[in-house]
Amino acid sequence: MTSFTGRVAVVTGGTRGIGRAVAARFEAAGAAVVTLARTEPSRGVGRFIAADLGSRESVRAAFQTIAEEFGRVDVLVNNAGGARPGAALDYSEAAARAAFDLNVLGALFAAQCMHPLTPPHGGAAIVNIGSVAGTRPSPGTAVYGAAKAALLALTKSLALEWAPRIRVNCVLPGPVLTESLTAYYGGPETAALVGQGLPMGRMAEPVDIANACLFLASDEAAQVSGAELLVHGAGEAPRFNRAGAVDAADGGSGG
């Protein structure tokens, strides 16, 4: 696998869950890692810069700092995302706008700011973290799924417009065993039982998503752009009977 020594990788929402695993994986591969999020964690990876990913000005300021300190960006992983679950009929305007600001516009703003900092001869890569919710319906995820579907469309358009300078791809996780999903199921034991309902026999771990990101950003994927890579254990989200059937939440992305 490609060594990322001498390359700079920026991970949005890189302080917990999938994002932290992605940041750690790129750091282990030799990259200088910058994580962007609203709140600095007690135990982070790489250089932390505070940023509101839904604000163009905040993202621009963060990338100005990156330009001053590192001078370039080779990899951008747009991981920041998420939205509260809820029925479409009852979803508020404020919550819907926030979902699109974070999941779609935040990724666009970061990509726009990254572009001038990439080597003009090519070799840079963007990996967007989508969700299986953006490819098929599930109860309570209408707005979140719509935002992730828009992110997938953005991925394909940027891949076309920015080739060959920057490759742009999208990872689509299914259920991922993050802290939040473990809490949703009431603990690791119950979450593990839910994972057994997947064809692969377990939910993805955050490192599984990180490995997919590392591949798509690597030289081994030099001809891969505009692609969507499913990391969902070979099937739809499982169902688990806990006081009635409950749909497993999507792994989606951290933030």
Please give the average per-residue pLDDT across 226-238, as a whole number: 82
| Helix ranges, the chain (H) | 17-28, 56-70, 93-100, 106-114, 142-162, 179-184, 188-195, 206-217
Q: What is the pLDDT of residue 253?
A: 53
pLDDT tens by residue, 160-203: 999 999 999 999 998 888 877 787 678 888 888 888 878 888 88
The phi-psi region of residue 106 (left if phi > 0; otherwise alpha if psi is between -120 and 50; otherwise beta) is alpha
Inter-residue contact 104 to 155 (CB < 8 Å) = no
Tokens (6 digits) for 28: 């282990």
From CA 127, how far away is CA 111, in angstroms rounded? 10
Q: Residue for token digits 């006081």? A: 243
Tokens (6 digits) for 205: 């771990």
Q: Is the pLDDT of residue 212 over 70?
A: yes
From CA 247, how far away is CA 20, in angstroms rounded? 26
Please give the average per-residue pLDDT across 237-255, as a whole number: 43
Inter-residue contact 51 to 34 (CB < 8 Å) = no
Catalytic positions: 144
Q: Is the pLDDT of residue 251 over 50?
A: no
Residues in CB range of 89: below 8 A, 6 or more apart: none
The residue ranges of every structural domain in the chain are 8-247
CATH number of 8-247: 3.40.50.720
Question: Where does the pLDDT of residue 106 fall: very low under 50, low under 70, confident under 90, or very high at 90 and above?
Answer: very high
Inter-residue contact 156 to 182 (CB < 8 Å) = no
Please give the average per-residue pLDDT across 45-60, as a whole number: 96
From CA 30, how far away is CA 101, in angstroms rounded? 32
pLDDT tens by residue, 119-138: 999 999 999 999 999 999 88
pLDDT tens by residue, 137-159: 888 999 999 999 999 999 999 99
Amino acid at 232: H
pLDDT tens by residue, 12-52: 999 999 999 999 999 999 999 999 999 998 788 999 999 99
